[in-house]
Structure 1
Amino acid sequence: MKAFIKTILAFDPSQDEEGGILGLVNAYYGTVEAQGRGTLHCHMMVWVAGSLNPNEIKDKALENGGNTEFQERLIAFLEDTISTSVPADSDRCDLETPLSKFHPCATRGPGPNINPEDQEAAEQRDLHKLAERCQRHRHTATCYKHWQGYSELKECRFDLDKANETPVSVFDPETGEFTLRTLDGLVNNFNETMLRAIRCNMDIKFIGSGPAAKAILYYITDYITKSQLQAHVAYAALEVAVHRLGDFNPEEDDLSSRAKRLLQKCAHSLISKQEMSAQQVVSYLMDFEDHFTSHEYVNLFWTSLEGFINSEDPSPECYPKKTTLLFPSSLDSIDGEPTSEPSLDDSPAITADDETMRLTMDASGKLVPTATQACDYQKRGELLENVCVWDFVAQTEKEKLKRSQMFSAGSDDESDDEDQADGPEGTANLSNESPWTKDNILDFDGKMPRVRFQTAHLQDDTHTIKVRSYFRRKIPVPIGPALPRRDTPASEQKHARLMLVLFKPWRHASDLRQTSQTWLEAYHLMCPPNPSS
């Protein structure tokens, strides 16, 4: 996979002109999983530079009554990239290649001993054999395992059928949805260069519509998260583990050690029932990756941030009540009136006191207090004053200082100036001599600074904020319940508040909105709504 990424995709963050066979690649994300037979394969999504999202493609294709130039260019690119039929075989019947004796996947192509004048014909035959053996679908019992009998139409569950042919790629003039041509309904889509290189079955799909994007994301996430252990087997294994632990004896058993033994026995019992293929075991022992990413990721615990803001500015409108109708117990009674009950919200507010400090274990095994992400952001140094939560999480990290670098508790560092010049080497000081400013701190081209926390921070004397350059920026991953939706009236205020919390710099709730404003009004001031939407 590394060779595929390096040579076929030609991913290189430093280049800005040339790319691989798909063009200039901005990002990729791939996961490795095992199918029923145990063989490993990778599901990968690739983002191409300059590509448009499904809504932008639709708007571009339909602008001015139909942008035919854009449609033709997109169709030409996709038809050149994605093949939907088996290429024709070479007309050289007398041509001898290794493919004549072996399966095409077991060879490395025509071979080095082909005469130069026969090279083109040999490569054409190689591609034909590969596509015919790897890409053409052949129906088996697996295709119809969900078929309920002759009472319903018998269809291949992979939606591969000779009748599924579309001779021409088209844009729907009303919806703007794009349909790629399908010249052979029994052939999985493939890219010729990729097929020649990897020499195994593959599939490639252009995500050009909202439904297609949702479908492919659901397929990938469902595929890679499916349990390899059936539920009834798991429960049986847990039952065996509990029985092996025996009855509790208060005179001999300690609750803590007993709980640990129970967890250990349950884990061992489940693992012993887990079926793994030889390929999976070898991949693990060889320390091969189970996923491939172009970027690094960092967790963003948004519920603690939201809880802190809610503790300073309680917002009942963000937690609407549900109306429950009480039906009369008999048809003669009609006095039942609706009553309102608080909604069981998925993400209840977390108070600042609960989320100010957590306990972690240091290298010596001692429990030590540590500040949360919300506390780190709220008490960041002055140099990071204009940085929002999203950028703070993406381009900074809390770094533990060496003992020789730690700030003295009795020194002048206890002052309100949070970016001290006499801190550890490299710590930024907001002064006239400093090359960093509040406005250029994240885009600075040069050595990145370390910024000291405010003195009120729990770990001010032992930790500092290390700022990463833009090119080493990580992608925040929101951790918590489902994010509130902006298209639902019941959650639009909560969505607006969360967007302000994440993308507008603040230290207190009063920095996000004025007293007379709703969260939605404050959000629209920061991000004016699109009149056309």
Structure 2
Amino acid sequence: MPRKLVPVSTIDPDTGHIIMRRSHPWINNFNEYLIVACRSNMDIKFIWGGSDAKALVYYITDYVTKMSLSFHDTFALVQKSITSFKNLLDHTDRESAIERSRKLVLRCYNTLASQQELSGVQVASYLMNWDDHYTTYKFQGLYLIQTERLLQTVLNEIRTKQNLELASHDMLDDDVFDDGIIDEENNDEEHFQIQSSENDKKFVLVNTRIDYQYRSDTLNNICLYDFTAVPQEEEANQTGRPPNERFPFQKQHPQATTHLMMKYSQPRVPILYGPQIPRRDRDDTRERYCRALLTLFVPWRTVSNLCDVNQKWEDAFKSQQHRISTYSWNIIENIQLLHECKKDRDEHLLQVITEAQTENDT
């Protein structure tokens, strides 16, 4: 879009914003040395700090982690493949159901793959039989919202039995989330994961909440977040010298007699599935914010370890926050920083749109 003409370069002393001289409305901000070295188009901006720096961090992170195809494009392509496959089936019914299913999956995959953008690096890596990605950490998923809702349900049942009047914000159905309305049917169910063993030769069904709740007494003071990064289930009848630390489950665990926990050889970074933890400065989601942090970063076995029957989650958080480790507080601050980066990104985008509209009007 055309830019406003600027006769002389200036610096705003209050914000540190640099306004470059522009002699033509279609010239972007550029650095003459960088543009010669890169030989490409550019729109450069000096990042002074503060909100601009946080907006930049979110821009880059969002760009690097974005999907190559959006959900609606993916569904449209899959629907196109299914329709094409149905038309093909009208001409032949001799193939078995397994063969037809295989061809349907293959057709959908080929349709999606043909629409994805591939960089030269990706193509070269594939041809050289190299890995398609490299990470400095390994990751482990955690269904946080299901654990939260289970604790809330148990707490509500205890309150009901004691004939306590429940406040509206303590009710399970009144939780507020930034992500909009959450499907109750999908988020109340317990989630199980199929996890491979250390040598990737065997698999076991894992429920992190059950494993944590009935963990060994040795791990009594570990929080759910740290617990997710440490253990791995395996069968108890393993032979040979154990390479890693092993911890038995408590007898209440459904797999206590057949499985035990083994410490990962390399720590994992927990990935929280489901709705994100809300901002701490929002009053309408304060209860859920406190509940999420208590569930993640304070050691517990039952809901009574986190919140008393007569307490709100916010009051419980104030009384329990001294149990949160320094390491966990750093993670909590990073969660808030992510929200601030997103907010600054949105404000910067709105500012750019407003300035462009103003310049076009003038």
Range of TM-score over shorter length: 0.5 to 0.7
Cα pair distance change 1:295/1:247, threshold 3 Å: same
Deviations 1:148-187 (A, max 9, x none): xxxxxx23xxxxx8739754474x3xxxxx5354666655
Asked if the contact 1:371–1:458 (Cα under 8 Å) also holds between the matched residues in 2, the reply is: no
Normalised TM-score (structure 2) = 0.62
Match for residue 247 of structure 2 among 435, 451, 458 = 451
Match for residue 300 of structure 1 among 122, 142, 147 = 142
Instruction: Please state if 1:372 is matched with 2:215.
Output: no
Match for residue 287 of structure 2 among 488, 493, 511 = 493
Greater helix fraction, Structure 1 or Structure 2? 2
Structure 1 counterpart of 2:51, which letter?
G
Deviations 1:347-391 (A, max 9, x none): 638798x527566799xxxx9862311111111111110111111
Deviations 1:174-213 (A, max 9, x none): xxxx5354666655469x9xx7xx9776878648333652
Counterpart for residue 464 of structure 1: 261
Structure 2 counterpart of 1:397, which letter?
P
Match for residue 244 of structure 1 among 85, 88, 96 = 88
Match for residue 391 of structure 1 among 226, 230, 242 = 226
Instruction: Please state if 1:520 is matched with 2:362.
Output: no
How far is the alpha carbon of 1:458 from its aligned partner?
Answer: 3.5
Q: Would you say how many aligned residue pairs link Structure 1 and Structure 2?
A: 293
Larger relative CO (CA 8 A, sep 6+): 1 or 2? 2
Deviations 1:38-77 (A, max 9, x none): xxxxxxxxxxxxxxxxxxxxxxxxxxxxxxxxxxxxxxxx
Asked if the contact 1:426–1:450 (Cα under 8 Å) also holds between the matched residues in 2, the reply is: no
Q: Does the residue aligned with 1:309 lie in a helix, a strand or coil?
A: helix
Counterpart for residue 270 of structure 1: 112
Cα pair distance change 1:238/1:391, threshold 3 Å: same
How far is the alpha carbon of 1:244 from its aligned partner?
Answer: 2.6
Instruction: Please state if 1:405 is matched with 2:239.
Output: yes
Counterpart for residue 163 of structure 1: 6
Cα pair distance change 1:502/1:224, threshold 3 Å: closer
Asked if the contact 1:162–1:184 (Cα under 8 Å) also holds between the matched residues in 2, the reply is: yes
Structure 1 counterpart of 2:16, which letter?
T
Counterpart for residue 16 of structure 2: 179
How far is the alpha carbon of 1:501 from its aligned partner?
Answer: 0.3
Structure 1 counterpart of 2:6, which letter?
A
What's the RMSD between the two structures over aligned residues?
4.6
Asked if the contact 2:206–2:233 (Cα under 8 Å) also holds between the matched residues in 1, the reply is: no
Asked if the contact 2:18–2:46 (Cα under 8 Å) also holds between the matched residues in 1, the reply is: no
> Where in structure 1 are there 5+ consecutive unaligned residues?
1-143, 145-153, 156-160, 173-177, 323-343, 407-423, 428-448, 529-533
Structure 2 counterpart of 1:302, which letter?
L
Deviations 1:270-327 (A, max 9, x none): 33455645554223323556656544433222123213313322386254559xxxxx
Q: Identity of paired residues, percent?
A: 22
The within-5 A match list for 1:342-357 is 345-346=181-182, 348=184, 354-355=189-190
Asked if the contact 1:318–1:491 (Cα under 8 Å) also holds between the matched residues in 2, the reply is: no
How far is the alpha carbon of 1:240 from its aligned partner?
Answer: 2.8
Asked if the contact 1:166–1:181 (Cα under 8 Å) also holds between the matched residues in 2, the reply is: yes
Deviations 1:320-350 (A, max 9, x none): 559xxxxxxxxxxxxxxxxxxxxx8416387
Q: In structure 1, how many angstroms separate the alpha carbons of the residues matched to 2:101 and 2:109?
A: 12
Cα pair distance change 1:318/1:219, threshold 3 Å: farther
Match for residue 154 of structure 2 among 312, 322, 327 = 312
Q: In structure 2, how many angstroms separate the alpha carbons of the residues matched to 1:502 and 1:488?
A: 19
> Where in structure 2 are there 5+ consecutive unaligned residues?
23-27, 157-165, 323-362
